[in-house]
Chain A
Amino acid sequence: MPLIGVEQAPILARPFYPDDGPPSPLTASLAHVPEVLEVTLPFVGRVLGPTAIDARTKEIVILRCSSLMECRYCVETHTAVALDCGLSPGEVRALRGEEEAEAVFTNPDDLALIAWVDGVALGRGAAPDEVTARAREAMGHPELVELTLVAGATLMLNRYCSALGLPTSPMTLARLAEEGLA
């Protein structure tokens, strides 16, 4: 998938290109269809970006989903973001499936959320009753709605980024190597 650089950025895509560096591969690939880009990026930005739910909680969902879907690009990119949001290297490894979540996470709400994400990402049909009950106990309705949407949006991005083979930025790869999380 050729990525569209800033010189060739379509008019409606330009506001999404940063002034101080290269665009993300997501932006630079969506730019092929600017009318889709201009609704997709604000949607993704709103759902995955800052809202009433703290960034750490959102990154649990995003990294877990991406790992379950084996999306190399999203796992690498969100490993770095997860560290910036305060998740420990051990928690990151657990979310990536390299360690048991129960052995690393101690907060039952985090574990209920991870079980919920596993149900949403891997299940077919409704999530198992026990998983749903735990999630409802751990979260209010607005949180459950929003985090389920975070999972859904991440699944969409996982399939998009994997299918198109988007490249992880060299800066992110260097960071992961530094952290021992490559």
Chain B
Amino acid sequence: MTAIADSIAGGEIGGRLWFYANYHCNLRCAYCLTESAPQVNRRELGREQIVERAREGKELGFTSLGVTGGEPFVLDYMPELIATLGSELPTLVLSNGTVFNDRRLGEMEPLAELPVKVQISLDRPDPDANDEMRGPENFRKVVEAVPRLVERGIGVRIATTLEDPEADPHGMERLCELHRAMGVPDQDHVVRPIVNRGRAATNDMGVLAGLEQLEPELTLTADGAFYSPFGPTVRGGELDTDMLVSRTTSPVREPAKMLARIAGNRPAGNDASIGIR
């Protein structure tokens, strides 16, 4: 057992190794942590680099993988990459759910045989309220895509991101009815607050999240290794470095050791309550 595996088993660092595949996106959500949009700097990590680091992470003792962005599925190679990752470790890939055309859905079919889940954002049970934050047609595209993924046997989770998740219990109940109707059970619905970073901070939204509120989860990007998937955010076009662990991302054991050291120095009693799960 490696020292990293010990840290994971002891709960000091999260078992999921995250990758920021890219930073560009077909959408431009009002609360986006990474200021993603179609024309932004892509900051692409690279297919081979992700696979290499994922395999190394597995050897070190990481127990699952996560892929986020930007919108990962704007990259042509993403379905194949997710299949490769899913054959190594259980993999979660975050998506806005709006780029699944017939061709892409066909390419994703092999994922049904693998421990892979696609986590799709859906915030509200009504198109107008949902699309206010996420852009026109978002609701329609998502409620079309989710059943098509489910009917192909691909694991789907729904992620709901709200300014105040407690504010509208009736709306939440309707949203839950909707995801159940689309074939996504309650255990695959995650609800989390908007985090006050990136575009959300510019728009004065969300909760503050520092190291105390976040679980240490090694997150590799084209710009370096970060403390959490909430770390490599962008504000005013500049990458935030307050949660940067190291510029070194390979060999993975280097940032993993640094993260374990940082986690070991955290004061006791931290409330690591905001995780992208």
Contact = CB atoms under 8 A, between A and B. Distances in A.
B81 interface: no
Contact of A34 (B211, B240, B246): B246
Contacts of B254: 35
Interface string A1-42: 000100111111000000000000000000111110000000
B241 A12 contact: no
How large, as a class, is the contact surface on chain A? 10 to 19
Most-contacted residue by chain B among A10, A11, A12, A35 (CB, 10 A): A11
A145 B252 CA distance: 37
Given A35-B254, A35-B258, A8 B242 contact: yes
A34 B244 CA distance: 8
B254 to A, nearest CB: 7
A12 B247 contact: no
Contacts of A7: 242
Given A12-B245, A33-B247, 15 more contacts: A4-B241, A10-B242, A11-B244, A11-B245, A11-B262, A12-B246, A12-B262, A31-B241, A32-B247, A33-B246, A34-B246, A34-B247, A35-B246, A35-B247, A35-B248
A9 B243 CA distance: 8
Contacts of B227: 11
A10 B262 contact: no
Nearest to B245: A11
Nearest to A14: B242
Nearest to B240: A8
Nearest to A11: B262
Interface in A118-142: none
A48 B125 CA distance: 63
A75 B271 CA distance: 48
